[in-house]
Amino acid sequence: MQELQLSIPYRRLSYDELDDRRRRLVDLARRYTHNAYAPYSHFSVGAAIALDNGEVVCGANQENAAFPSGTCAERSACFSAGARFPEAKFEAVAIAARGTDGHELRHPVAPCGACRQALLEYEGRAGHDVEVILVGSEEIYVLPSIRSLLPFAFTELG
> Which residues are known to be catalytic?
74
Angstrom distance (rounded) from CA 41 to CA 122: 27
Angstrom distance (rounded) from CA 23 to CA 16: 8
In this structure, are residues 135 and 95 in contact, taking their beta carbons and an 8 Å threshold?
A: yes
Per the DSSP assignment, residues forming a β-bridge with 127 are: none
Helix, strand, or coil here: 5? Answer: coil
Q: Are strands 56-60 and 44-51 parallel, antiparallel or unpaired?
A: antiparallel
Q: Which amino acid is at 1?
A: M
Q: Which amino acid is at 128?
A: H
